Amino acid sequence: MENKNVELEIREINQKLDFIADQMREYRAHQKEIQELKDDLSLIVKDMFDAAVDELEDVSPYFDTNDLIHLGKKLLRNTRNLNKMLTQVEGAADLWRDLEPLGKQAFDELLKTLDELDKKGYFEFFSETFKIVDTIVTSFSLEDVRHLRENITTILTTVKNMTQPDMLGSVNNALEFFKKMDVIVKDDVSMFSLIKQLRDPEVKKGLAFSLEFVKNMAKTGNNQM
C-alpha cells in the first residue's frame, strides 16, 4: 500500500516537472520572440532617427531649440484662446449641419423657379434683348453714343411731353381724322371759292392754328440756335 502511494506521488511530481518544463520552453520561446521584436524595432527606430536627422538638416538654419521652447510657451499661454476657437469651429460645424437641409431646399426652389421662367420664355426674351443691344452697339459709333448722351435730356423731355394724356389724345384724334378723312379736291378750284371758304369759322380756326404752330416752331428753332 505504501509502495503504491509512493509511486502515485512520484507520478504527480513527474507531471508537475513536465508542466514546469513546458512552461519554461514556452517562456523561452516568448522571450525569443520579444527579443526578435526588440531587434526589429531597434532597426526601424534607428532608420527613422537617421531619416529625421537627414530631413532636419535642411531646416536646421531656420530652426533652433529655443524657437521650439518659445512656441510651446506661446501655445500654453493661448490654450484658452485655442479652446474658444475650437468651440467656435464646432459651433460653425453644427450650424452648417442645421442649415444644410435648408440650403438644399432653397437650391431645389431655385431650380424650380428657373424652370418656370424658362417655360414662360424669360431666357429667350433676355437672349433676344441681348441681340438688340448687340445690334445697337454694332450699328452706332462712339460719336453717335456721345451725341445721344449729350441730348438725352432733350429726348426724354420730348418723350415725356408726347406721353402726356392731352398730347396722346390730340395725336390719336389726328390719326383717327386722317384715317377717316375723305377729301376730294376738284381740279377747277377758283380763287373765289377759296376766298369764300375763308368765311367759314372752322377754316379760320384751322388757319390760325397753323400760323401759330409755324410761328412757335420758328421761335423754338431760333432759341435753340
Categorize the per-residue pLDDT at 140 as very low, low, confident or very high, splitting at 50, 70 and 90. confident
Distances in whole angstroms, Cα of residue 166 to Cα of each of 170, 173, 177, 213: 6, 10, 16, 17
Report yes or no: 213 and 219 within 8 Å, Cβ to Cβ: no
pLDDT in tens, 85-123: 888 888 888 888 877 787 788 888 888 888 888 888 888
- If asked whether residues 15 and 57 sit together in one domain, one would say yes
**Residue 136 structural domain:** 121-168
Categorize the per-residue pLDDT at 181 as very low, low, confident or very high, splitting at 50, 70 and 90. low
pLDDT at residue 198, as a whole number? 73
Judge whether 37 lies within some domain.
Answer: yes
Overall residue count recorded for the chain in this entry: 225
Judge whether 183 lies within some domain.
Answer: no
| Cα angle value 218/199/178 (rounded, 5°) | 60
How far apart CA 46 and CA 141 sit, in angstroms, is 79
Instruction: Tell whether the model's pLDDT for residue 225 goes beyond 70.
Output: no
pLDDT at residue 86, as a whole number? 86
Categorize the per-residue pLDDT at 187 as very low, low, confident or very high, splitting at 50, 70 and 90. low
pLDDT at residue 58, as a whole number? 74
- Taking residues 192-206, what's their average pLDDT? 75
Kindly give the residue spans of alpha helices, DSSP state H, lying in 60-78.
65-77
Domain end, chosen from 19, 35, 63, is at 63
Judge whether 207 lies within some domain.
Answer: no
pLDDT at residue 108, as a whole number? 84
